[in-house]
Amino acid sequence: MPELQVPYLRELPYNWRVTDGNGCSTPGTWNVIQPEQIVPGITTSNSPICLGATLNLTTSNATGGTPPYRYSWTGPNGFTANNTQNPTILNATTAASGTYTLTVTDANNCFKTTTTVVTVHPATTMDDPANQPVCHNTLTDAVNFTGATSYTWTNNNTTIGLAASGSDNIPAFIATNTGTTPVTATITVTPTANGCPGVVQTFTITVNPVPVVQITNNTPVLCDDGVTSIVLSSNVAGTTYSWTASRTSGTTTGFSNGNGTSIIQTLTGAGIVQYVITPSANGCTGASSTVTIEVISSDFDLDVNVSGSNPELLLLSQLHVQLI
């Protein structure tokens, strides 16, 4: 049977005639009828989604045309899904963002296309906050988070003076630690952008106690050329001490500024020497305390009043005794 291929037919009647070798012919009419057009269903997705989520491409049932229908998808990053009406992409990455095309084909191989646009948000990140060491009863630095759009945080140790949880930036607050050892709180921060929670970050706030110096002055009064014995200790382990020394009266020499856990100095000449001692631990400076040493000269006069009919003279080295 002869075939005739006519491209781009229209929905019209076409007249035809067949003629044989003897010149005999037979006419006829061929009515071309356009099938009902395919109408794809509503095509969409669960976009926008977060990195690592499952992307669901969906379309409702097509209508028109001549069933049954075949559904085929193409999309970014080489994605194809044949004979699947509602495909999924597990653990979607940002490479899955873009335009997806659905082609619906009917039994007559007539087809229709439709598209949907997908957005996969990148991973939400934030800048890592710095750890903070602070001293008891001092103001912390405000913590201003950056890198995302919103933040939630938790605190595992409220004794430092910070609430157990909160959102967005952490304002400065007065840190507290009335104990004798450092107290550390771990702050866990979750950033969010485009509705997607990001990688959790942690940082610490360590509140150090303020040391108190404890002074044991074994030599409050010295003879000339005597040696001081002042022992220093504190309620906080690892405390260091520094002092400044000055003469408040007399002619005493031999004192000097210094540091250590004891003050051992030879003082010469009568007078009073004052030591101002300051403790420090873990970067925290405690209140200064003052201790004094009085030096008595070995060269001095002593007046003695002796009464009675037979006064006796007390002889002491370098003492001048007056009898009256």
Backbone φ and ψ for 38, nearest 5 degrees, come out as -75, 135
Alpha carbon distances (Å) from 65 to 71, 105, 254: 13, 9, 111
Alpha carbon distances (Å) from 251 to 92, 264, 273: 86, 19, 10
**Which residues, in sequence order, are bridge partners of residue 49?**
120
With a pLDDT cut of 90, the percent of the chain lying above it is: 80
Give the pLDDT mean for 114-127. Answer: 96
Burial code (b: 16+ CB inside 10 Å, e: under 16) for 266-279 equals ebbebbebbbebbb
Residue 55: pLDDT band (50, 70, 90) is very high
Q: What's the pLDDT score for residue 318?
A: 39
Q: Is the per-residue pLDDT at 2 higher than 80?
A: no
Tell which residue, 281, 133, 284, 127, has the closest CA to residue 204: 133
β-sheet with 43-45: strand ranges across: 43-45, 55-59, 88-89
Q: What's the pLDDT score for residue 311?
A: 45
Give the pLDDT mean for 175-192. Answer: 97
What's the mean pLDDT when you consider all of the chain?
Answer: 90
Residue 36: pLDDT band (50, 70, 90) is confident
Q: Is the per-residue pLDDT at 179 higher than 50?
A: yes
Tell which residue, 45, 65, 63, has the closest CA to residue 55: 45
Give the β-pairing of 49-50 and 120-121. Answer: parallel
Q: What's the pLDDT score for residue 8?
A: 60
Tell which residue, 101, 98, 105, has the closest CA to residue 87: 101
Q: What's the pLDDT score for residue 113?
A: 96
Backbone φ and ψ for 77, nearest 5 degrees, come out as 60, 30
Q: What's the pLDDT score for residue 307?
A: 52
* pTM, entire model: 0.73
In this structure, what is the dihedral angle of CA atoms 245, 249, 254, 259, given to the nearest 10 degrees? -10
Please state which of the ranges 1-15, 84-98, 175-189, 243-257 shows the lowest mean pLDDT. Answer: 1-15
Residue 320: pLDDT band (50, 70, 90) is very low
With a pLDDT cut of 70, the percent of the chain lying above it is: 88
Q: Is the per-residue pLDDT at 6 higher than 70?
A: no
Domain 132-208: give its CATH architecture: Sandwich (2.60)
Give the pLDDT mean for 23-29. Answer: 85
Give the list of residues 6+ apart from residue 23 with CB closer than 8 angstroms, or none: none
Please state which of the ranges 11-20, 242-251, 311-320 shows the lowest mean pLDDT. Answer: 311-320
Q: What's the pLDDT score for residue 324?
A: 37
CA angle 7–10–15, rounded 5-degree value? 90
Backbone φ and ψ for 41, nearest 5 degrees, come out as -75, 180
Q: Is the per-residue pLDDT at 91 higher than 90?
A: yes
Q: Is the per-residue pLDDT at 226 higher than 80?
A: yes
| Domain spans of the chain, in order of start | 1-46+59-120, 132-208, 213-296
Residue 170: pLDDT band (50, 70, 90) is very high
Q: Which residue has the higher pLDDT, 134 or 9?
A: 134
Alpha carbon distances (Å) from 231 to 159, 262, 291: 33, 4, 11
Distance linking the first and last C-alpha atoms of the chain: 167
Q: What's the pLDDT score for residue 316?
A: 39
Give the pLDDT mean for 148-171. Answer: 97
Q: What's the pLDDT score for residue 23?
A: 80
Domain 1-46+59-120: give its CATH architecture: Sandwich (2.60)
Mind giving me the DSSP string for 191-249? EEETTEE---EEEEEEEEPPP-EEEEES-SEEETTEE--EEEEESSTT-EEEEEEEEEE
Backbone φ and ψ for 114, nearest 5 degrees, come out as -150, 160
Backbone φ and ψ for 222, nearest 5 degrees, come out as -125, 150
Domain 213-296: give its CATH architecture: Sandwich (2.60)
Q: Is the per-residue pLDDT at 321 higher than 80?
A: no
Give the pLDDT mean for 289-308. Answer: 72
Residue 302: pLDDT band (50, 70, 90) is very low
Instruction: Assess whether the region 132-208 and the region 213-296 belong to the same CATH fold.
Output: yes
